Amino acid sequence: MMLFGKTIVITGVSSGIGRRTAELAAQMGAEVIGIDLVKPEQVIGRFIEADISSQEGVDQLILQLPADLDALCNIAGVSGQSGAAKTLAINFFGLKALSEGLISKLRTGGCIVNVASIAGFGWRESSQGASAIAKLSGFPDAHQVVKDFNIPNEAGYPISKEVLLVWTMLACQQESFRSRHIRVNAVSPGPVETPILTQFRQVLGDERVNSDVERVGRAGKVGDIAPAILFLCSDAARWINGNNLATDGGLEASLTIEQFNL
């Protein structure tokens, strides 16, 4: 699985999974364009400072990106501490706006990889609401969306990931992507040892996080997640589309066994 000759845009490169994905992509021969609000301590490839929490920020970023991109890795995200509206704006609406705005700059046969989460596991039970949010056009007012769909702040993070998983499936069938043979997939980590894990504990609760870790024996590491993301960027994944790759040590399987009494 090599990435020689590919140009890959990676959001959230200043820390955690995004930083490791950028490092590994460069080692595998890719030209990396890293995006973040904060400049990383060590820049890999080219860096662009950007804020995807608004349509204006997304538009400014798109203008700075070149054409002939091979992949977009949507890794930037927040834990939910900042409230449901901000969380939805960054974790979904900004991500979607960036993905759709880059269609003309992605090569035919390119790909998009969204980093979702095991926290989105409940999308099936929330499918109608998640689908309705995923199908909203443009970059809606996130505060109004939270009000319209009655989303409490503590549910902002899981709902943002449920919507993202639903949109990943919808997008792979969206004509604007299909006509250019652009694949859209997701990777769903379980708990991962990153600086944001402490925030997840505050948002989701120690009991939930500890339970998830105990089910699979340990928390994940950024080095467990980055290779899965880059696999989906590679030619080895050219027939994988609209899929969610659970990269969680078996956590989704454990939850599924429990939920369906398998």
pLDDT tens track, the chain, 262 positions: 689 999 999 999 999 999 999 999 999 999 999 999 999 999 999 999 999 999 999 999 999 999 999 999 999 999 988 999 999 999 999 999 999 999 999 999 999 999 999 999 999 999 999 999 999 999 999 999 999 999 999 999 999 999 999 999 999 999 999 999 999 999 999 999 887 778 878 777 888 888 899 999 999 999 999 999 999 999 999 999 999 999 999 999 999 999 999 9
CA-to-CA separations, 226 to 114, 122, 173, 252, in angstroms, rounded: 12, 24, 26, 18
pLDDT value of residue 224: 98
**Catalytic one of 47, 121, 123, 157:** 157
Q: Is 157 a catalytic residue?
A: yes
Give per-residue pLDDT as tens, 92-134: 999 999 999 999 999 999 999 999 999 999 999 999 999 999 9
pLDDT value of residue 128: 97
In angstroms, rounded to a whole number, what is the distance separating the alpha carbons of residues 68 and 9?
A: 11
pLDDT value of residue 207: 85
Task: Give the torsion through C-alpha atoms of 55, 42, 22, 244, to 10 deg.
Answer: -60
CB count within 10 Å of CB 150 equals 8
pLDDT value of residue 201: 82
pLDDT value of residue 1: 63
CA-to-CA separations, 98 to 10, 114, 189, 230, in angstroms, rounded: 12, 11, 22, 19
The reply to whether the predicted model has a pTM over 0.85 is yes
Q: Which domains does the chain have, with CATH numbers?
A: 7-260 (3.40.50.720)
Q: Of 89, 72, 92, which is closest to residue 32 (Cα–Cα)?
A: 72
Q: Of 29, 59, 32, which is closest to residue 43 (Cα–Cα)?
A: 32
pLDDT value of residue 165: 98
pLDDT value of residue 184: 98
Give per-residue pLDDT as tens, 194-219: 877 788 787 778 888 888 999 999 99
In angstroms, rounded to a whole number, what is the distance separating the alpha carbons of residues 212 and 7?
A: 35
